[in-house]
Amino acid sequence: MSVLLNHRSENKLQAYVDTLRLVTYTVRMCENEHIFPKKCRWTLCSKILENCFDSLVKIKQANKIRPTTAEQAKFRLKLELQILLNFDALWTLIDIAANAYELPKEKVGIWSQLMLTADNRVMAWRKNDAAALKKEFDF
């Protein structure tokens, strides 16, 4: 039996799932010789992939922290902020790649949509965490 869309609850790991989709697509883009020439894989693509992998790892780390102190709560929020900063850098790197290599517009559109979805999901996660943790730990 299916659940009505407005009655569905959100997966608690949806930020991870959406970021994993972004990373998977990014890996495929960067490994495609028809999109990125080999010479740029050691420069631009390596920075793009490093940023993606770091974001995914930080999501897992932040989610692993079950704060029992204000310091742990602040550290979790700090990791979430670092993810958002990584995403900001990734937007810039994608923009550079799209312009420098004249990437196909449909591929850039898909990439941008995946990026936007992951970015919005992490922003919402951080906003909810910040409100709950600040209330719980009074900081």
- Looking at residue 32, which CATH number applies to its domain? 1.20.1440.60
pLDDT value of residue 39: 84
Q: What is the pTM of this model?
A: 0.88
Residue 95: which pLDDT band, with cuts at 50, 70 and 90? very high
Over residues 51-75, mean pLDDT: 97
In a domain, 5, yes or no: no
In a domain, 87, yes or no: yes
In a domain, 28, yes or no: yes
In a domain, 51, yes or no: yes
Q: What is the domain range of residue 64? A: 11-137
State yes or no: pLDDT of 75 exceeds 70.
yes
pLDDT value of residue 11: 67
In a domain, 113, yes or no: yes
Residue 41: which pLDDT band, with cuts at 50, 70 and 90? confident
Q: Interior CA angle at 38 toward 33 and 40, to 5°? A: 115
User: Across all residues in the chain, what is the average pLDDT?
Assistant: 92
CA pair distance 101, 99, nearest whole angstrom: 6
SS3 label, residue 139:
coil
In a domain, 3, yes or no: no
How many beta carbons lie within 10 A of that of residue 128, not counting itself?
11
CA pair distance 95, 114, nearest whole angstrom: 14
In a domain, 29, yes or no: yes
Domain count across the chain: 1
In a domain, 32, yes or no: yes
State yes or no: pLDDT of 24 exceeds 80.
yes
Among 1-15, 33-47, 92-106, the range scoring the smallest mean pLDDT is 1-15
